[in-house]
Structure 1
Amino acid sequence: MKKYENLAKQALTILSLLWASQLSAQSQQYSTTELTEAAHSWLTQQLPDETALDVAITPLDSRIGRKSCATPLAFSLSQPLTQRQNTIQIRCSDNNSWQLYVPVRIDEILTAVVLSQNIATGSRLTADMVQLAERQRRFVRGTPVTEPTQVIGAKAKKALAMGQLLTLQDLCLVCKGDVVTISVADKGLNVAATGTALSDGSLGDTISVQNQQSRRTIQVQVTGVDRVSVIF
């Protein structure tokens, strides 16, 4: 009986060695550099095409050594993609399962208007004062200006520095006392008049304007530099 038990143990040992040998032959070996690159490649595929994003990934420590896996690697994010600071989980699900974590930073990049020179309070913007440049969205406070033509002729509410990203909150497209063009569009009829702004306003703001002909005060919406539209 003991003889058969020994034979069974030997057979199991041989089968275990054969299985381990086969598993080892099927396993894929990965260096930390390859794992980092694989995580970066996976993340890039998850990013939306319509948004410009800058991805900075922290390489895995080389002291981790090579890792092997007999199954395809699985990747996932620890937080929603919209989070700036995130972590990519790399997971192997074979019998010797393991997981690693790769820190990553995701910044949205905007193409917006920045100043090419210092601007004094009350100065009207001209085309040579602005240019388009890329900036990280996290540094933007307010509504960025994305087209120079939107703000040429607008006045600076405060002193602005060269290189600063321009926002609508920095400007009044219509300033108190300015003569503005009032547009009236109703049922296909377009009429224009002139008026005097009674307060400052930026794009989309509602302000009061006095019609220069009728002297009536009306509520209008700012649509551009020195341009407003009657609200119905």
Structure 2
Amino acid sequence: MKILLISLCFGFSFISTNASAQSQATPQAWQDTKILNQKVKEFLKIQSAGSPGKVEISSTPVDPSLRLESCPAPLVFFPSNTRPWGKTTVGIRCGQPNPWQIYVEANVSITGHYVIAAVPLAQNQTLTANDLMLQTGDLTTLPAGFMTDISMATGKLAKVSLGSGTILKQEMLKMPIVVLQGQNVKISTVGQGFTISTEGQALTNAAEGDVVKVRVQNGSIVSGIAKNNGQIEVAVR
């Protein structure tokens, strides 16, 4: 009778221990949302590196009560057609072992300088440093094409009249004319290992970097790039 009782007790202990071991071997592991929050901030910090100003990053924390299966390598990304600054959206996905994907809201502000008109500017006026000034604000709220340094605008011409305080954009300005129609110009034909110089007459006005047509001495017409010194450069492949 004692032998049977010992056997039954031993059997019960084995079954109980085995069930406990199985329970501990396969617990449900949930993703630590603090890790996800940290990865979002690290991702946004990398994406905004090199910005022309002071960067401040904030994001909506992932709901800690959210039950996501633990992921060894969660991937943070920008959804398509999402800009990487201002109010934005960031995605987090897990590929293995059990795929899941969530989105969080974030905001990336960049406080820096931008160029405005210090005085009213007339159409075709050549801008000088005295005509411009720097303003400080959140660059992510500005229209595309704004300038962050006064030197980017000096020497250029206003395409249209601009009021004082106007935020200057690249599209509002144009390069000064360096070649006038009818002007006698020097043409440099540059090839591999050689340069040939000749003279001609410009057929149109041109700013630096513009393509301009020139009639050379033999009457033929060539196209070249207008340079700041009034010369025309023709490249030969």
Give, in whole Å, the separation in 2 of the partners of 1:68 and 1:109.
Answer: 36
Q: Go from structure 1 to structure 2 and tell me whether the alpha carbon gap of 1:121 and 1:231 turns closer, same or farther (over 3 Å shift).
A: same
In structure 2, give the amino acid aligned to 1:117. V
Aligned position for 1:158: 160
Q: Go from structure 1 to structure 2 and tell me whether the alpha carbon gap of 1:132 and 1:194 turns closer, same or farther (over 3 Å shift).
A: farther
Among 170, 173, 180, the alignment partner of 2:173 is 170
Aligned position for 2:144: 140
- TM-score (norm. length: structure 2): 0.55
Question: 1:229, CA displacement in angstroms?
Answer: 1.8
Cα root mean square deviation, aligned: 5.5
Among 189, 204, 209, the alignment partner of 2:209 is 204
Among 18, 25, 32, the alignment partner of 1:19 is 25
Question: 1:152, CA displacement in angstroms?
Answer: 3.9
Give, in whole Å, the separation in 1 of the partners of 2:158 and 2:142.
Answer: 23
Name the SS of the counterpart of 1:15 in structure 2: helix
Give, in whole Å, the separation in 1 of the partners of 2:111 and 2:213.
Answer: 37
Q: Go from structure 1 to structure 2 and tell me whether the alpha carbon gap of 1:65 and 1:39 turns closer, same or farther (over 3 Å shift).
A: same
Question: 1:208, CA displacement in angstroms?
Answer: 4.5
Deviation by residue 1:41-82 (Cα, 9 ceiling, x = unmatched)? 14434x386676967553125x54487976645223253698
In structure 1, give the amino acid aligned to 2:234. I
Map 1:3-14 onto structure 2 (within 5 A). 10-14=16-20
Range with bigger deviation, 103-112 or 147-156: 103-112
What percent of counterpart residues are identical? 12
In structure 2, give the amino acid aligned to 1:41. E
Name the SS of the counterpart of 2:177 in structure 1: coil
The question of whether the paired residues in 2 share the 8 Å contact of 1:140 and 1:165 is answered with no
Aligned position for 1:37: 38
In structure 2, give the amino acid aligned to 1:79. P
Q: Go from structure 1 to structure 2 and tell me whether the alpha carbon gap of 1:10 and 1:70 turns closer, same or farther (over 3 Å shift).
A: same
Gaps in structure 1 of 5+ consecutive residues? none
Name the SS of the counterpart of 2:45 in structure 1: helix
Deviation by residue 1:64-110 (Cα, 9 ceiling, x = unmatched)? 44879766452232536985454230549678x86543234679999
- 1:59 is aligned to 2:60: yes
Aligned position for 1:122: 124
Aligned position for 1:74: 74
Name the SS of the counterpart of 2:41 in structure 1: helix
Question: 1:121, CA displacement in angstroms?
Answer: 0.9
Give, in whole Å, the separation in 2 of the partners of 1:107 and 1:178.
Answer: 47
Aligned position for 2:5: none
Gaps in structure 2 of 5+ consecutive residues? 1-7
Question: 1:129, CA displacement in angstroms?
Answer: 2.2
In structure 1, give the amino acid aligned to 2:76. S
Name the SS of the counterpart of 2:161 in structure 1: coil
The question of whether the paired residues in 2 share the 8 Å contact of 1:151 and 1:173 is answered with no
Question: 1:174, CA displacement in angstroms?
Answer: 0.9
Give, in whole Å, the separation in 1 of the partners of 2:214 and 2:115.
Answer: 29
Q: Go from structure 1 to structure 2 and tell me whether the alpha carbon gap of 1:231 and 1:154 turns closer, same or farther (over 3 Å shift).
A: same
